[in-house]
Amino acid sequence: MENAESQYEWIKMEVSDRSLGSDRSVDIPITVKNIQSSKRRFQIKISSSFKQVDNLVEWGLSVQDQKTRNYSLSPIDSTVVSEEFDIDARKERKITVIITTPKGGYLGDSASFRISVSSDDGIHSASKDFTVTLSPVIVALKTTVGNEFQVSRDLERRSDKDKQERLERDPHATNEVFAIMSPYEVKGYVFVETMHPDRVSFIAKGIKGYKGMVEGDISFQEIEHYLTPKPAVTGLELGAFVELIDGPFKGEKAKIMSIDSGKEEVTVQLVESMVPIPVTVRAEAIRMLDKK
C-alpha cells in the first residue's frame, strides 16, 4: 500500500458532496502523473447510483481529455464509464469529469459517484466517492419598474394553476415557484426560488411587466439582508406626493394625508380628482415621487 505522500505525487483529485439546481454542472479536475521512467497506461472508471422520484430522468456525464466523451446516466442505465489513456514517463495528464444535473429532477433527488483511477501495472490506484443532490436555486426576474408586486402576484397565481394542470398527468408534480421575494428597495427585479428556472421563465411569459430572466443564479448571501425588511412606511412623510402602483387607482398621483405605522397603511388624497377623495391603501401600494 502506498503512503499518503506517494499518493499525492501521482494524482490530484479533489471531490466533495455538492448541492446543485436542475440543469447545472460541476467540474471535477483530475491530474494524473506518471512518476516512473517508462510510458504507462492508466484507466479511469466512473460508477454511479441514484435515488430519485422518476427513474427515467437522466443525468449527464462528460469526460474531457484530448477529446470529450458524453454519457447519459439514470437508474435504469447506470453503466460504468471507463476510459484508458497513456502517459509518457515523468509526464502528467489532466482530465475533467463533468456532472450535469437533469432538467426534470425533483427536490432531494441525488446521484452518488465513485471515480477510480488506476495504472494497468497495478502499482497505483485511488478512488473517491461523492454525492450530488438536487436543491432549489434563486433566480432574478426583470420587471418594469413599479410592476414588481404585480409580476410577483401574477406569477404566483400562474404557478398554482400550472401545478394543478400537471398533477393530472404527474402525481408527483409540485409548484415550480417555492418562494417569491420583491424587496421594496430593489426596483425592476423580483427574486424567485425554484427547482426549474426554465419552467419559471415559461410560466412567466406574457405576464404584464415581466421582461425576462437574468442569466445565472443568485446566492442566498446576496439577498439575505432583505429578509429583515424595513417597515413599508419607512421614509414616507406627511404631505409628500406619491404614485399609486397597485389597486383600482393605479397610476394616479396623490398626496399623503396620514400614516398608520401600526397597520402600515397610508391615507392619501388624489390630486387630479375633481372632488378631494381620501383613499386608504397599503404602504406597499405607493411609490414616492421625486421631491422636485
194-221 pLDDT, tens digit each:
999 999 999 999 999 999 999 999 999 9
Walk me through the domains of the chain, giving residue ranges and CATH numbers.
4-134 (2.60.40.10), 137-227 (3.30.70.940), 241-288 (2.30.30.30)
CA distance 4 to 205: 55
Q: Between the CA of residue 158 and those of 121, 169, 178, 197, 200, what are the distances in Å?
A: 61, 18, 13, 15, 10
Radius of gyration of the chain (CA): 28
Give the number of residues written for the chain: 292
Output the DSSP codes for 164-209.
HHHHTT-TT---S-SEEE--TT--SEEEEEES-HHHHHHHHTT-TT
Contact 34, 40 (CB under 8 A): yes
Report the Cα–Cα distance between both ends of the chain, in Å, rounded: 79
The predicted pLDDT at position 2 comes to 43
Contact 286, 184 (CB under 8 A): no
DSSP 3-state of 2: coil
CA dihedral 267, 270, 273, 278 (to 10 degrees): 0
The predicted pLDDT at position 116 comes to 97
Low-confidence ranges of the chain (pLDDT < 70): 1-8, 229-230, 291-292
CA distance 138 to 198: 12
Tell which residue, 94, 121, 99, has the closest CA to residue 13: 94
The predicted pLDDT at position 75 comes to 94
The predicted pLDDT at position 7 comes to 47
Q: Between the CA of residue 152 and those of 8, 189, 258, what are the distances in Å?
A: 52, 10, 28
